[in-house]
Amino acid sequence: GAGVSQTPSNKVTEKGKYVELRCDPISGHTALYWYRQSLGQGPEFLIYFQGTGAADDSGLPNDRFFAVRPEGSVSTLKIQRTERGDSAVYLCASSPGTFSYNEQFFGPGTRLTVL
Amino acid sequence: RKEVEQDPGPFNVPEGATVAFNCTYSNSASQSFFWYRQDCRKEPKLLMSVYSSGNEDGRFTAQLNRASQYISLLIRDSKLSDSATYLCVVLQDSGGSNYKLTFGKGTLLTVNP
């Protein structure tokens, strides 16, 4: 079946611009996660959705970052006034369960470059 | 101190070699432990879970020592296709059924012919 998909695969923008990154989770998965992976580092947790609500946004680095999941499926990560330090691969993951740990399945990521 | 620390690597080994990866974690309340594999410019994929009793999956053996907060992965008879970055991953329940994964930096393995 279809896995997690993310669009665009690559995004180049200029400092100060606004960007939106999209994640389509596996159908039926209620949990959705966003991670950020900088060069030479492991992924770092940003935010977790259970259904439509953000259950934990403790990983968002500052208020320029925001994410939504209005219908409990597709999610959009929004970054305002981008900075060069925001350059990274943004990974989305989904998992089926809510009451115990289920494997998180990752999408291919969006590579964001801020010039 | 980082929450999850791994051998910095990189490791370069010949085919057929045995290679070991080591990892320590700082949060004693961590609940579950995993090794993920990440190929170059690809997403991470679960390689195996790590259980207290130790577990094996073919050429791969994972060990966990909760007292020492130490996790290991052993690859025997390494293949060219094992070349990848190996990520040590720790799971914590941060409340609200948020099972947050914390990743180490990863250790790059290159298996040479």
In sequence order, the 6+-apart residues with CB closer than 8 A to the CB of B54 are B61, B62, B63, B64
Distance to chain B for A101, nearest Cα, Å: 6
- Which residue among B44, B45, B99 sits closest to A101, beta carbon to beta carbon? B99
Q: Phi and psi for B17 in degrees, rounded to 5?
A: -75, 160
pLDDT in tens, A60-109: 999 999 999 999 999 999 999 999 999 999 999 999 876 666 788 999 99
Tokens of B2: 């980082």
Residue A99, chain B, CB below 8 Å: the answer is yes
Decide which of A88 and B98 is more confident: A88
- pLDDT, residue B28, reads 84
Quick one: average pLDDT of B36-48? 95
* Residue in A with minimal Cα distance to B38: A42
Tokens of B113: 């012919």
Pairing status of strand B4-6 against strand A110-114: unpaired
Residue B63 above 70 pLDDT?
A: yes
- pLDDT, residue B92, reads 80
Please report, rounded to a whole number, the percentage of residues in chain B having pLDDT higher than 90.
76
pLDDT in tens, A25-54: 999 999 999 999 999 999 999 999 988 988
Tokens of A24: 């389509």
Give the C-alpha separation, A113 to A14, whole Å. Answer: 8
Give the C-alpha separation, B86 to B101, whole Å. Answer: 15
